[in-house]
Amino acid sequence: METERVVADRAIPLLQTLVRNACVNTGAEDSGEETRSIEAIRGFLSEFDIESSILYARPDRANLVARIPGRDPLQPTLAFMGHVDVVPADASEWSRDPFGGEVIDGEVWGRGTLDMLGMVATSVAAFTVIAESEPPPGDVLLIVVSDEEAGGAFGARFLTEQHPDLVKCDYMVTEVGGMYLTEGHIPGLTLTVGEKGICWARMRFHGTPGHGSMPYRADNAVVKASKAAEALSEYQAKPELTPIIRDMADAFMSDRLSRFLARLPGTFDLALSRLYTRNPGRAKFLHTAARTSISPNVLTTGGKVNIVPASAELEVDIRLLPGQGVEHAQRMLREAIGDSDEEVDIEFFEFYPSTLSELETPLKRATERILADILPNTRIVPMFIGGVTDGRYWRQRGTVVYGFAANTAELTMDRFSEMIHGTDERIPVSCLERNLEYLTRLPYELGSDAAGHLGERVSARVHAE
């Protein structure tokens, strides 16, 4: 069946249903109500005689897993994974109904079309095509989850912790990737190989209470906390120019001088500020990918206008590089505020390490072979991102996870960044078509490359036993 027909008959109608269900995740436990979209996907799959399991973290927040068995149990398992919840949308700022799912001039409109209902709909459609075709070499899994936008407690985290065997896989394709870059000799498509770690700290500053009418030499906790906030915002960790960061810088910068400056740690930040004047979004993206970042975001203090406060709390969002833990964050915070001991208490209330998949894998090679065919003259640009996705839960368990989609030049990185979580979010039908082709062919291409990899894996297992 040809690609255009599958997209028109399967992917787009399903995408419209997912958009119209408006599974808006506000972060409240009872928001999202993704069970509606999960049921819709189960119904859709059953039309193709594909069975699926629904796993409930809560009755209103379900997750779906389906499997197409492969021919050879020694071949790797490949998963397509995506989430059906979306972030809120303010209809008054949109040119169209954010939950209308309209198709206008070759684009499907609506909240979530890019993040990531378009990818979910193409993954489900590709899954039905694979199920109708000859059995793939290895198992293909379809995993659709709730609650990505609030951290995955009812979705990816629930599945990987409560049903690890059901969702175990060797390779996974998910968000965030496939952003089209036009700089350089050959256009590039981003492929996310890793994400920074999350580390959230609460810093408590102590002062001495006193009367607000007599501030002379007061020991004021508000002043201490705000000085610390300023010091933290000025603190710049050194850039770590790994090969991935160098590739990203090359692909993001259009002039030779900037590219040259970006190759050296001493001049990297100069290149970054040149990039900022031309493209601030991309500069922010590269800045955070290259170093540990610190952002002081919540200040809670004071009680009464005429009292010098005895304490103040500052909450800080720290994003870590691979291998860094809470101790690293602790050292960095103290260094940034110039404090060596007991002036401040630091408590960490959230931590998830950075995750990074290998870049040279059968999955990347299979992706390149398919791209050469469906989007010729497009190279892969590896990316390391500052935010987190559900992919981390699998990466952390050893799965090679890539954020990727075979999008076309109609979806440049700048358009993508502007619309994601923004207004007038929409996806070109051409992206759905190329991505459907990519996903449909991937299990077969991967199988033709993975034999060597699995040989190594099997022999490693034999050695271990």
Residue 355's alpha-carbon distances to 22, 116, 317, 387, in angstroms, are 30, 21, 17, 11
Among 115, 139, 170, 183, binds Zn ion (CB under 5 A): 115
Specify the stretch interacting with Zn ion by CB under 5 A; choose among 91-99, 160-168, 172-180, 336-344: 172-180
Burial of 85-105, coded b for 16+ CB within 10 Å and e otherwise, reads: bbbebeeeebebebbbbebee
Specify the stretch interacting with Zn ion by CB under 5 A; choose among 87-95, 109-117, 229-237, 329-337: 109-117
Q: CA 400, CA 394: separation in Å to the nearest integer?
A: 8
First to last CA, the chain: 46
Tokens of 116: 């990531």
Q: Which is nearer to Zn ion, 117 or 167 (CB)?
A: 117
Nearest residue to 79 via CA among 90, 68, 87, 63: 68
Q: Is 116 in the site for Zn ion (CB under 5 A)?
A: yes
Q: Which is nearer to Zn ion, 319 or 441 (CB)?
A: 319
Q: Is 390 in the site for Zn ion (CB under 5 A)?
A: no
Q: Which is nearer to Zn ion, 115 or 147 (CB)?
A: 115
Q: Which is nearer to Zn ion, 170 or 175 (CB)?
A: 175
Q: CA 445, CA 363: separation in Å to the nearest integer?
A: 9
Question: What's the alpha-carbon Rg for the chain, to the nearest Å?
Answer: 24
The CA-CA-CA angle for residues 365, 366, 372, to 5°, reads 90
CB of 201 within 8 A of CB of 347? yes
CB of 298 to Zn ion, least distance (A): 24
CB of 144 within 8 A of CB of 453? no
CB of 192 to Zn ion, least distance (A): 11
Q: What are phi and psi of 145, to 5 degrees?
A: -120, 165
Q: Which is nearer to Zn ion, 115 or 433 (CB)?
A: 115
Q: Give residue number: closest CB to Zn ion.
A: 115
Specify the stretch interacting with Zn ion by CB under 5 A; choose among 48-56, 116-124, 225-233, 282-290: 116-124
CB of 87 to Zn ion, least distance (A): 9
Number of residues forming the site for Zn ion (CB under 5 A): 3
Specify the stretch interacting with Zn ion by CB under 5 A; choose among 113-121, 256-264, 295-303, 393-401: 113-121
Q: Which is nearer to Zn ion, 144 or 275 (CB)?
A: 144
**What amino acid occupies position 253?**
M
User: Kind and range of the H or E element at 364?
Assistant: helix 362-374
Q: Which is nearer to Zn ion, 395 or 441 (CB)?
A: 395
CB of 435 within 8 A of CB of 406? yes
Q: Is 85 in the site for Zn ion (CB under 5 A)?
A: no
CB of 425 to Zn ion, least distance (A): 11
CB of 313 to Zn ion, least distance (A): 31
Per CB under 5 A, residues contacting Zn ion are 115-116, 175
